[in-house]
């Protein structure tokens, strides 16, 4: 982690707040030409801004529905984004599928409940690893394999294409 803390400090020294970016269309207050997403992401990275939200600290997964940017934990900065990316990779190795499978309750359970069980079993300090997102990914994989089913109705219909939002849904282990 010390390597990345260093990166963050360098970034704070270099950045003199002259880059305020926006998207749709991509632009920056410094006047850089940003014709496409790749150029914009590169520019964000150079300006030490999060390459997902371009420093706006918010993302809009569906038109009209904004939330805190998950990539940079709502900071808008590249340093925390890099640290969080590493934490996601780490969570994949620290939280293996078999551990999640072994902890599945025999009754309907919520995603947050299972994440708590995993945190407890593996003795994970709160807030350091993205346990919830990792457990959700494992559950989606287990659903593909027929091990679990999602039993909650969606909390919100997001758009005409049928995209839906689940807040903290109930899952159940498949009986065989
Ligand atoms: Zn700029
Ligand atoms: Zn961000």
* Per-residue pLDDT reduced to its tens digit, 25-84: 899 999 999 999 999 999 999 999 999 999 999 988 777 778 899 899 899 999 999 999
Give the H or E element holding residue 6.
helix 2-14
Ligand nearest to the CA of 52: 2
Give the Å distance between the CA of 44 and the centre of ligand 1: 7
**Do 48 and 14 form a contact (C-beta atoms < 8 A)?**
yes
CA of 60 to the centre of ligand 1 (A): 21
- Please, where in the chain does CATH 1.10.10.10 lie? 95-173
Q: Per residue in 67-125, pLDDT tens?
A: 899 899 899 999 999 999 999 999 999 999 999 999 999 999 999 999 999 999 999 98
Q: Which numbered ligand comes closest to the C-alpha of 34?
A: 1
Q: Tell me, yes or no, if the pTM score tops 0.75.
A: no
CATH 1.10.10.10 for domain 95-173, yes or no, is: yes
Give CA angle at 70 (168, 119), nearest 5°. 55
**Cα–ligand 2 centroid distance for 96 (angstroms):** 27
CA–centroid distance, 30 to ligand 2, in Å, is 19
């Amino acid at each position: 982690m010390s390597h990345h803390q260093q990166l963050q400090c360098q970034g704070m020294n270099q950045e003199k707040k002259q880059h305020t970016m926006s998207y749709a269309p991509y632009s920056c207050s410094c006047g850089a030409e940003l014709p496409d997403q790749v150029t914009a992401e590169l520019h964000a990275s150079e300006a030490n801004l999060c390459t997902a939200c371009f420093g706006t600290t918010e993302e809009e997964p569906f038109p009209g529905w904004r939330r805190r940017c998950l990539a940079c934990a709502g900071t808008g900065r590249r340093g925390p984004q890099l640290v969080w990316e590493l934490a996601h990779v780490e969570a994949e190795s620290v939280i293996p599928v078999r551990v999640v499978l072994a902890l599945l309750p025999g009754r309907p359970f919520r995603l947050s409940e299972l994440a708590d069980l995993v945190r407890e079993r593996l003795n994970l300090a709160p807030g350091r690893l993205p346990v919830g997102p990792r457990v959700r990914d494992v559950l989606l994989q287990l659903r593909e394999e027929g091990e679990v089913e999602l039993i909650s109705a969606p909390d919100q219909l997001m758009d005409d294409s049928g995209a839906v939002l689940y807040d903290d849904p109930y899952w159940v282990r498949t009986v065989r």
